[in-house]
Structure 1
Amino acid sequence: MTLTSPAPGSDRPQLKLLMTGATHGKRSPVTCLYKCDNACFHPVPNTSSNGYFRDIADAVLSRRAVLAGGAAAASALVLTSAVAGGAPATAATTRRGGGAAFGFTPIAPVPASVDALTVPQGFRWTPIIRWGDPLFDRADAFDPHAQTAEKQARQFGYNNDYLDILVAPNGREAVLVANQEYTNAGIMFPPAASEEERLEQLRVSKAAHGLSVVELERRRKGEPWSYVVGARRNRRITADTTFVFDGPAAGSDLLKTVADPSGTHPVGTFGNCAGGTTPWGTILSGEENFNGYFRAVGTSDAHKRYGLTEKASSYGWEAVDPRFDARQPGYENEPNRFGWIVEVDPEAPDEAPVKHTAMGRFKHEGANVTISRSGHAVAYMGDDERFDYLYKFVSKNTFRKGNSARDRRHNKALLSEGSLYVARFTGDSPTSEILGTGALPSDGAFDGTGEWVALHVNGVSKVPGFTIDQVLVNTRLAADAVGATKMDRCEDVEPNPVSGRIYVACTNNTDRGKLGAKEGATEANPRNSNRDGHVVEITEARGDHTSTRFGWSILILAGDPAVNPLTYFAGFPADQVSPISCPDNLAFDSEGNLWISTDGAPGTIGYGDGLFRVPLEGPRRGQVQQFLSVPRDGETCGPVIHDRDGSVFVAVQHPGEDGSWGAQNSYFPDYIEPGSLRQGKWGGPRPSVVQVTRA
């Protein structure tokens, strides 16, 4: 699908729906265009032919030894962050909650056509903040008919994804941080009446990307939050914000442009998907589908490996900013300045955010940090592309538990130096038993061992033929060279703060096993045409997150058991679970239960995307229970679980995606009656952050 100028009299841009018939029912063609530049329509960027999976006879590591060593998982570390007035807050409580004390009756699956946010009986939902809400001055109030880039840069952005709520010790103050991943001009704007109005809409789109930092307040614990206009920490970071590169590739010739000959100050962030909150209280944001924002010379292996082409971009920003046409002299490296992990300090609203080159460049879903027993910061990361890889970063220096300014500066530099690894999985079943259907092998589990293969160690390349700059800027090519395991779209990768085990959401990969030299099923990715996705559980050897060995097993093979009997839920009876498809974002509660939000269920199992809880220990291990469902066309993002506070938070992304300005498909979260656009009022969807509390 490509985007052209609006046709005369049309109420939205003309869309060439290349993805129609090619999305395999997963997503709306509109989402495919704006979110990932029709990735599934284009050839798979990973064309490497190296072997990735070995029969048990070829295994070089004893699974029994790894799992025995990993049985004693690392104990959870108390995480702290400075939130209000410099006082420490417990990040563990901001990202956990929802165990036995957080009881609910699972909801029934909700048909994808329903335009409602559905929660369990005894709970209610309310929005905290919506697209266009003013952050700095109430005079910037949202007016859909008078949008400007200047106003949007002072308002909450569009299509929020990663989310966290950092609560102060007093329980009455907090900071909300959210990514704004992408925009949909067709439902955001009326038809442009002139060329200048069309160009201004492009500028508004740029300003709606990035991140938002917003202070919250409430009267007492357990009550709903409201956001504070004009608060000190409020901030917008957009596609025009100046950043700083750090790490070994900062200043590299591969990062220099005519506008930044030093190669140290990139401008902007976009395609920000998931993220993570660090133990020192900063926010990590992953730049994901950046390729669709550029026109580039697509003939080089590096550009092809990242999906860059010479065609017009999905957004058309090259019409208002020359750096998005990377075919032009001086801008050839501009795409290399995206695809990084970004770190933002919500306590320092005037500080330039950082892009960490030591952590590698790929389509980052996000990054989540845990502290190893040796004190090193360990970040787990997924590359959200068909047949791409799982990564780990281990800091060179160790974490300081203090909260002094000196300790904070030290910790904020932990991701600037360290070592980057990519995962290689080995199955323990004969390859003849991996049938591609999801049928379990004779040992009753998809499992095995693995190793973390070094790409660089403390800034020294470990990939033959690659300089350190090449390893970091063209990380996918470096990972190809060492034979990493091709995965089914590693999205969120989260360490469990209670058990220490790592969980990987593999959303789907309908290309696996296709004709045309596509890799077939492997034990770590055991389904051909993997429509519904799966979740992998990893145990680091000896419970040490810095180890280069691990054991693994598949926790969930997702789907609707009523339709597909070859689903798997850690051995729990499949007829007693909620149907689930396309796992995306992950979170944990105070008892270590896993919470999964989904992206794509409407097109695979016919139900709305939702949020699900899964116990990981005891007799209910694997029992998927649905907590909520989002409105029509929407996606559930960035779950935050505060069980001790009786609250759950989600970012509702792209509700009403398939509508148009004159025929909106959702009215979330305000549900103004249809037709109100003709009355001069807004009657369309506004992506929002929602809180769910007991009624």
Structure 2
Amino acid sequence: MAAYPRSLPLLPGHGGRSAMTCLYRCGNACSHAVPNNSDNPYFGDVVTAELSRRGLLRAGSLGALVIGAGAVALATDAAPAEAVAPAGHTGPRTPINGAGLTFKPIPPNTLDTVIVPNGCDNAVILRWGDPVVPGAPAFRADRQSAAAQAKQFGYNNDWLVTLPLDRHGRRALLVVNHEYTNENLMFPGYTTPEALTVEQVRVSMAAHGLSVVEIERVGDTGRWVPVARGTRRWNRRITAGTPMRFTGPAAGSALLRTAADPSGTMVLGSLNNCAGGLTPWGTILSGEENFNQYFVGGDAVPAGAKPALTRYGIDTVNRYPSGSRKWERADARFDLSAHPNEANRFGWILELDPHDPNFTPRKHTAPGRFKHEGAEIILARDGRVVAYMGDDERFDYLYKFVSDKKMRRGDKPFDRAHNMTLLESGTLYVASFGFSSAPEIDGSGTLPADGAFNGTGRWIPLARDRQSLVPGMSVDEVLVHTRLAADAVGATKMDRPEDVAPNLRTGKVYAALTNNTRRGAARQPAADEVNPRSNNRHGHILEITEDGGDNAATTFTWTVPIVCGDPADPSTYFAGYDKTKVSPISCPDNLDFDAHGNLWISTDGNALGSNDGLFAVPLDGPERGHVKQFLTVPVGAEQASASLSDDNRTVFVSVQHPGEIDGASMDNPASTWPDGDYARPAVISVWGVDGRHIGA
């Protein structure tokens, strides 16, 4: 067996990812031209000299400024109301001091295993190929078939969540995204994409999507296992071929119609499902991210369709782009020369009811189409649903969606049926940030004169009540080509917005800006206060406070409490906390909160030379900014997602693409986690052996 480096190669533009990960995860997005070529005016550019940004912060409101192409007026429509906690979630929406993070942080490492703090243990719940639905055969790497994979746990598990099935915390539904496949690590004897058989391509298609699996607690521990085969009432696999339907204003649009679906209302499958969200009415949301890499034939689409395809990263010059997945060999709809609208049918937020194994998943068009990391929900003060979303691309945008209708808190079937329509109509916004002028922000990470990266901002409306608010674009154009709409109104270009999560205890919103090595490069946007570092290899965390404490507000203040990296690096910042006590952290990706309101951060692509991991940090009180590393994943793996149980005794962790290192294969693995033979992505549980809360 060949020897492999036990650290991730630091390739230009790739953060800490291997070239193999970049190829399969996103089709080498960092090696291609930036899709966003708009020349957006920033908030800071349009505020007049008489109104300094610091004065705006003191004022707390920006009146009726006009921003961006088309002179879109930005008037607030938020109404004050009494604060409420979202149904289905516990805890008051009032600030509390961080608590419970008394664990001793683990050191950075490059070990090929999961490392947890003293007093904790971990075990695998499910791995790629494990049986999920009745009739699923046991996994055999040398006898894979699409029919078998459609019944087995999919590949590269990403975002996950658990939904309790009883009041005693004994049983739950585990819902997991399966983001992408890596045929190098899946098939013995793999050589090239062209050498894959059509059946192997179909295996890969079946390994995408989602899994719903019933699990149960082992005794009084924090360990969880799948229930016995005969009782898997809710278990289900969603794949690239599962029938789904569109909802909302763009459903039926000519932009969504194909020869196979002339109505533009039905679609097969979900692709590149990354992060997600749990709704207060018990369904889950899943975001379709790097869907562009699955399509070929962009050179032959009508000329009028090419600008939008290019804006979404689809090659419109080469018939067969390098790095494409070759799926057109198994399904002609992935060839845009024959089916030019098929790509428009991906890049949406999907809603699934995991309690109904016959539920037809819905792709909601009202929250827009882009490379969705996920969608996280909180209730506005008046009961409307607010979903926060990030577009995971260099120099793309932050969004939020506010429903037209209010959520019903009842538990009757008609209440739930009503709530499952809330994402079908509402207002879609994109964020514009105000910040200091360039002389004060030089890209070095040096704090401005007032000692903080902070400012004000507005949510610019793109569509409302099934009407376009972007001049020159119809409502279905705004929703199908949301990136172009956001370009037109002057949204702020961000450093790869991934997970965007509201803290249900405080209403504040946190965004993981993963990295952007193009920031400050030639002919690229310079650093600004909300993206304060040039060559941003390590990323940062953004905190948004909606005006009046109402998540439906159209203005906000913001701060950057954490600028990631090695604490010894002067460009890093940890909310003013003593950096000698802080764990190194690089490339924040997924976010979650524990029962105390602390933020838990999963990383993807550690550019500091050690394995990815899970970190926790208090958001309030004297410990604000004290980042501590709780866990590391095996070599080559991503700490894709973490979800803490309601009782805070277990953290469920998604370990994605272990051993994904250049030159590795199933026959010659760079990692042998979890079973000692070859690498298999898996979901694990981590718990305290003494039964205490995780992290305590």
TM over 0.5: yes
> Pick from 655, 664, 670: which aligns with 1:665?
670
Partner of 1:591: 596
AA matched with 1:258: A
Deviations 1:39-89 (A, max 9, x none): 01110000011222415645699322438999x998561432xxxxxxxxx
Deviations 1:241-294 (A, max 9, x none): 010000000000000001100000011101100000011111100000000000
C-alpha deviation, 1:297, in angstroms: 2.1
Determine whether 1:357 maps to 2:365: yes
Partner of 1:522: 528
AA matched with 1:266: V
AA matched with 1:526: P
Partner of 2:498: 491
Partner of 1:609: 612
Partner of 1:54: 44
Q: Is the 8 A contact 2:671 2:679 kept in 1?
A: yes
The 2-side partners of 1:145 and 1:159 are apart by 19
The 2-side partners of 1:138 and 1:102 are apart by 44
Partner of 2:337: 327
Q: Is the 8 A contact 1:46 1:387 kept in 2?
A: yes
C-alpha deviation, 1:20, in angstroms: 9.4
AA matched with 2:632: S
Runs of 5+ unmatched residues, structure 2: 3-8, 63-75, 690-696
The 2-side partners of 1:596 and 1:21 are apart by 23
C-alpha deviation, 1:660, in angstroms: 0.7
C-alpha deviation, 1:206, in angstroms: 0.3
Residue 264 to residue 613, structure 1, CA distance change in 2 (3 Å): same
AA matched with 1:618: G
Determine whether 1:31 maps to 2:31: no
The 1-side partners of 2:646 and 2:105 are apart by 16
Partner of 1:163: 160
Partner of 1:121: 118
The 2-side partners of 1:596 and 1:67 are apart by 31
Residue 587 to residue 459, structure 1, CA distance change in 2 (3 Å): same
AA matched with 2:576: G
Per mean C-alpha deviation after superposition, the further-off stretch among 145-154 and 134-143 is 134-143
Runs of 5+ unmatched residues, structure 1: 1-10, 12-18, 81-89, 673-682
Q: Is the 8 A contact 1:75 1:499 kept in 2?
A: no
The 1-side partners of 2:581 and 2:566 are apart by 11
The 2-side partners of 1:377 and 1:182 are apart by 30
Residue 76 to residue 646, structure 1, CA distance change in 2 (3 Å): farther
> Pick from 373, 380, 394: which aligns with 2:388?
380
C-alpha deviation, 1:431, in angstroms: 2.3
C-alpha deviation, 1:174, in angstroms: 0.3
Partner of 1:655: 658
Partner of 1:186: 184
Partner of 2:685: 691
How do 1:280-679 and structure 2 match up within 5 A?
A: 280-298=281-299, 300-309=306-315, 310=318, 311-312=320-321, 314-328=324-338, 331-427=339-435, 429-515=436-522, 517-562=523-568, 564-601=569-606, 604-642=607-645, 644-658=647-661, 659-670=664-675, 672=676
Residue 254 to residue 115, structure 1, CA distance change in 2 (3 Å): same
Partner of 1:243: 244
Name the SS of the counterpart of 2:432 in structure 1.
strand
Residue 447 to residue 597, structure 1, CA distance change in 2 (3 Å): same
Deviations 1:75-114 (A, max 9, x none): 561432xxxxxxxxx5779xxx996346421111113xx2
Partner of 1:5: none
Q: Over the residues paired in the alignment, what is the CA RMSD in angstroms? A: 2.4
Q: Is the 8 A contact 1:498 1:590 kept in 2?
A: no
C-alpha deviation, 1:694, in angstroms: 1.5
The 2-side partners of 1:33 and 1:92 are apart by 42
Q: Is the 8 A contact 2:403 2:426 kept in 1?
A: yes
Q: Is the 8 A contact 1:76 1:499 kept in 2?
A: no
The 2-side partners of 1:41 and 1:146 are apart by 35
Q: Is the 8 A contact 2:541 2:562 kept in 1?
A: yes
Q: Is the 8 A contact 1:364 1:382 kept in 2?
A: yes
Deviations 1:288-312 (A, max 9, x none): 0000000142561101100101434
The 2-side partners of 1:183 and 1:490 are apart by 23
Residue 552 to residue 414, structure 1, CA distance change in 2 (3 Å): same
Q: Is the 8 A contact 2:122 2:223 kept in 1?
A: no
Number of residues of Structure 1 aligned to a counterpart in Structure 2: 645
Deviations 1:571-613 (A, max 9, x none): 1111110000000000001111111010011xx1111100000
Q: Is the 8 A contact 1:286 1:341 kept in 2?
A: yes
Q: Is the 8 A contact 1:340 1:364 kept in 2?
A: yes
Q: Is the 8 A contact 1:128 1:690 kept in 2?
A: yes
After TM superposition, the score normalised by the length of structure 2 is 0.89
C-alpha deviation, 1:172, in angstroms: 1.0
Deviations 1:513-560 (A, max 9, x none): 111x20001111011111100000000000011110000000100000
Name the SS of the counterpart of 2:114 in structure 1.
coil
The 2-side partners of 1:24 and 1:265 are apart by 36
Deviations 1:119-151 (A, max 9, x none): 001111101111100012365111111000000
After TM superposition, the score normalised by the length of structure 1 is 0.89
Residue 424 to residue 356, structure 1, CA distance change in 2 (3 Å): same
Residue 221 to residue 202, structure 1, CA distance change in 2 (3 Å): same
Residue 139 to residue 213, structure 1, CA distance change in 2 (3 Å): closer
> Pick from 148, 151, 174: which aligns with 2:148?
151
Partner of 1:214: 213
Residue 635 to residue 261, structure 1, CA distance change in 2 (3 Å): same
Residue 444 to residue 159, structure 1, CA distance change in 2 (3 Å): same
Residue 101 to residue 49, structure 1, CA distance change in 2 (3 Å): closer
AA matched with 1:128: I
Name the SS of the counterpart of 1:554 in structure 2.
strand
Name the SS of the counterpart of 1:118 in structure 2.
coil
The 2-side partners of 1:76 and 1:687 are apart by 39
Name the SS of the counterpart of 2:141 in structure 1.
coil
Q: Is the 8 A contact 1:372 1:378 kept in 2?
A: yes
Name the SS of the counterpart of 2:212 in structure 1.
strand
Residue 98 to residue 284, structure 1, CA distance change in 2 (3 Å): farther
The 2-side partners of 1:27 and 1:109 are apart by 16
The 1-side partners of 2:481 and 2:37 are apart by 15
Name the SS of the counterpart of 2:479 in structure 1.
helix
